Amino acid sequence: EFVTFYHVAQERIKQVSPDTQVFPVFQFERLAGHKGGLFNPTDNDGKSEWEILNRFPSADLYAFTTYPGLIYQDPADIPADYYQAVSTYTDKPIAFTEIGWHHDAVAPGWESDDVEEARFIDKFFALTDPLAPTLRLWSFMYDPGEELAGKIFGSMGLLAKGQETSQSWEMWTEKAALQQ
């Protein structure tokens, strides 16, 4: 079982390197009960799974992956309290180890572009700043492409292949610079 393995691994890591941060990573949308959207619009029971955090009490922090573009068609639709539940369920430091929003059309009704991706980045920082994450990592600097990552994740880079700048890139670097 992963939980047992995690605790054994954390103990051994701390024996060798006590200052190393050891933590599990959770998929935020599933944990928070946001299960509808692009993959299965009828499967949105809203049942959260926050109790899973309790299985990792010795974690140095909790990390999350987040892809709200799989649930919401427009960043404007993301509720203002979207990430707030994290602070209800833990007082540990948090991190976001994968963040993404597609900038191409991935399905009918799920069209997007660089401007929309940049709007998501702006909103993501606004919604997560109160949580003071120790780390925020965008999943891809460059689009990995459909052949490597599939239709949905293929355009989640901040830059298209060969591109030197974009509104998404500029927004990300601006917001990230403010965090230093």
Q: What is the pLDDT of residues 37-65, one digit of tens each?
A: 776 666 666 788 999 999 999 999 999 99
Please give the distance of CA 149 from its chain centroid, rounded to a whole number. 16
- Report the side by side order of strands in the sheet with 25-27: 25-27, 62-66, 94-99, 135-138
**Does the pLDDT of residue 26 top 90, yes or no?**
yes
What is the CATH code for 2-178?
3.20.20.80
**What percentage of the chain's residues is helix, strand, coil (to nearest 5)?**
40, 15, 45
Q: What is the pLDDT of residues 139-171, one digit of tens each?
A: 999 998 888 888 889 899 999 989 999 999 999
* pLDDT given for residue 145 in this prediction: 84
* pLDDT given for residue 98 in this prediction: 96
* pLDDT given for residue 44 in this prediction: 60
* pLDDT given for residue 42 in this prediction: 61
Kindly state the tokens that stand for 71: 């649930």
**Does the pLDDT of residue 35 top 80, yes or no?**
no
User: Phi/psi of residue 168, each to 5°?
Assistant: -65, -45
**Does the pLDDT of residue 29 top 90, yes or no?**
yes
Instruction: Provide the whole-model pTM.
Output: 0.92
Q: What is the pLDDT of residues 54-99, one digit of tens each?
A: 999 999 999 999 999 999 999 999 999 999 999 999 999 999 999 9
Q: What is the pLDDT of residues 101-141, one digit of tens each?
A: 999 888 888 899 999 999 999 999 999 999 999 999 999 99
* pLDDT given for residue 151 in this prediction: 82
- Domain parsing of the chain, residue ranges: 2-178
